[in-house]
């Protein structure tokens, strides 16, 4: 696999302790990119960074809470001091939680609503506000935000998570327009129920997950269990020279769940 012009670059990956963020961080390190492995769990960040350094890569574990702009700013500064200016931001941090009263607009607990919005939408805003100015100043950068098909399906009961992910779609386009003249691209990838630890908590059994993708409510039109590697390939495409003129786009890697 060629590095696509990425060797020697520096990347900051949020949510890199597990799932898509971890996959992206490991893949970038394999292409010769120095990676700041950022996660709210320092233990998880250290685990991922340790995998990279064991293979001879350059990595730094950074404990970062993306809901807190001060934490993002401090973590970013530590990463730059250790690894150099960040050329790539992969923002994968996010998550969902259920409200005790239900997930509709009428009954979702407002404290839960606020936490979900802050994690999934404000988290992206915080990371981009800190990372983008340096990229603009240097005239090169790649920003990839992990969205969700939930932000496009907009199903009843989607709650704050769907609203936040829909906001990611708009935010991506706005930021892309603002930085395009500086050769900084901003895109999102849009997965739908990928085989990650989060999904496995709901479907720990392989057969049950496969059956869900055939006839369940989470099934995609291709009836496949989407893998982290599928999302990572999309991220790498957007980072490489081959994706240099792709910006302001939402790349759906979801088995056909959303066909805009």
Q: CA 230 to CA 221: how far, in whole Å?
A: 16
203-220: buried (b, 16+ CB within 10 Å) or exposed (e) per residue?
A: beeeeebeebbeeeeebb
Which domains can be identified in the chain, with CATH numbers?
A: 10-191+226-248 (3.40.50.720)
Residue that the structure tokens 């805003």 belong to: 125
Q: CA 23 to CA 72: how far, in whole Å?
A: 21
Residue that the structure tokens 């920003």 belong to: 143
Residue of 122, 152, 161, 245 with catalytic role: 161
CB neighbours of 188 closer than 8 A, spacing ≥ 6?
A: 144, 145, 146, 147, 168, 169, 172, 249, 250, 251
Residue 161 among the catalytic residues? yes
Tell me whether residue 54 is exposed, middle or buried, using C-beta atoms within 10 angstroms of its C-beta: 0 to 12, 13 to 18, 19 or more: exposed
Residue that the structure tokens 């849009």 belong to: 190
Q: What is the DSSP letter of 226?
A: B
Per-residue pLDDT tens digits for 116-146: 999 999 999 999 999 999 999 999 999 999 9
Per-residue pLDDT tens digits for 98-114: 888 888 899 999 999 99
Lowest mean pLDDT among 34-38, 121-125, 199-203: 199-203
Question: Of 72, 188, 64, which is closest to residue 127 (Cα–Cα)?
Answer: 72
Q: CA 147 to CA 167: how far, in whole Å?
A: 9
Confidence band of 3 (pLDDT split at 50, 70, 90): confident
Length of the chain: 260
Residue 60, pLDDT > 80, answer yes
pTM of the model: 0.94
């Amino acid at each position: 696999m060629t590095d696509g012009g990425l060797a020697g670059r520096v990347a900051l990956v949020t949510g890199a302790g597990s799932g898509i963020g971890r996959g992206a961080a490991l893949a970038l390190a394999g292409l010769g990119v120095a990676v700041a492995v950022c996660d709210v769990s320092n233990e998880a960040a250290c685990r991922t960074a340790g995998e990279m350094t064991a293979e001879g890569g350059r990595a730094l574990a950074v404990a970062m809470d993306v809901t807190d702009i001060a934490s993002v700013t401090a973590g970013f500064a530590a990463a730059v001091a250790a690894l150099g200016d960040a050329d790539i931001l992969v923002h994968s941090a996010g998550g969902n939680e259920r409200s005790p009263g239900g997930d509709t607009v009428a009954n979702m607990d407002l404290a839960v609503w606020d936490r979900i919005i802050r994690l999934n939408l404000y988290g992206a805003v915080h990371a981009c506000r800190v990372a983008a100015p340096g990229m603009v100043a240097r005239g090169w950068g790649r920003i990839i935000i992990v969205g969700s098909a939930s932000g496009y399906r907009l199903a009843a009961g989607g709650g704050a998570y769907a609203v936040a992910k829909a906001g990611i779609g708009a935010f991506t386009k706005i930021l892309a327009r603002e930085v395009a003249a500086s050769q900084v691209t901003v895109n999102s990838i849009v997965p739908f129920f990928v085989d990650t630890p989060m999904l496995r908590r709901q479907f720990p059994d392989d057969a049950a997950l496969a059956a869900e993708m055939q006839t369940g409510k989470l099934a995609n039109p291709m009836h496949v269990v989407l893998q982290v590697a599928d999302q990572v390939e999309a991220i790498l495409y957007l980072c490489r020279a081959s994706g240099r003129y792709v910006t302001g786009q939402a790349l759906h890697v979801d088995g056909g769940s959303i066909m805009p």
